[in-house]
Structures are given as C-alpha cells and as structure tokens.
Structure 1
Amino acid sequence: MSYFGLFILGWLLIGFLSGIKRIYIDKKLSEENIIKMKEDAIEDGVPEYIAEEKLAILTKPKVLLAIYTLFGVITFITDTISTFKRKHT
C-alpha cells in the first residue's frame, strides 16, 4: 500500500509543479492568451456565452492549478511535447 501512496504523491507533485510552470512562468493566464482562447472557442462553434462562462472558471489561478495538479503526469507530458514542437518548427 505504501508504493501506491508514493505513486499518488509523485503524480500530484509532478502535476503541481507543471501547473506552477504553466501558470506563472509561461504566463498562460495573460490577457492575450485569454482573448485567444475565447476566439478559438467561438471559431470552433461554441456559443459565446458558454465560452465566456468556461473562461470565467479557467482564468482563476487556483482553479487552474487544482486541475493541473489532479491531471498530474498528463500535464507534464503534454507540456514537454508542445515544447519540443515549438522548438522544432
């Protein structure tokens, strides 16, 4: 049982650190990114009021950090892949 506990702690720690990196270092919640996310959602056919409600929730740093923490290693892997794609294009 202790190995499972260590796995969960590692999962949450990796998610927390990658969330801190995305929010505060990469400035994911900057004004330009928020406007871009809203425009992308509207282009994808999402009604404007739903896009605004979704962004109202996702632009709060504490909520976004909790989401990144729970997703754990998945956020780390997607962040690593997107970093390599940006560097090689």
Structure 2
Amino acid sequence: MIARVSTAHCRDDRSATRLGKPSRAIFEVACRQLGASRPVMLGDQLATDIAGALGAGLDAVLVGTGLAPVAGPAGNRVRPTWALPSLME
C-alpha cells in the first residue's frame, strides 16, 4: 500500500506529509483542517490515541470496547480525561 501511495504521490506536484499517532502534529493538522474550537479525541488505545491527544492539549475519551480496558494497565501514566465502557453509555 505504501508503494501505491508513493507512486500516486510522484504523479502529483503537491507534497505529502506523513503523520501518525501519537505525534501531536496529526492532531494539530486535524483540528486546523476541521476548524475545531474544542476538540475531543475518542480512542481505544492509550499509547497512541489517548497519549497523542493529551500531548496535543486535547481532552481524550478512552472507549473500553477497543484494545485498552477502561481501567488501563496498573501503573500506566497515560490518564484519559474521561473513560467510557462503550460508545453506548
């Protein structure tokens, strides 16, 4: 897939920027493009979704239906702003 993206990118004069969680840059770009004034990140992974959002100064909701339990592993320093057992709550 990366090869296809790179090939497609080479056909265009525009440049691409690679962004990924937990880098704060992806959150800053998303907020800027969406014009969000009070963004909140919902995620199921403490190390990427929640840590990245908190690092960018956003509130973060850990959803327990994904990879991380709402309680999180013992001793984890990443603490979401809020935690929900599921999106149905």
TM-score (norm 2): 0.24
Structure number having the greater strand percentage: 2
Structure number having the greater helix percentage: 1
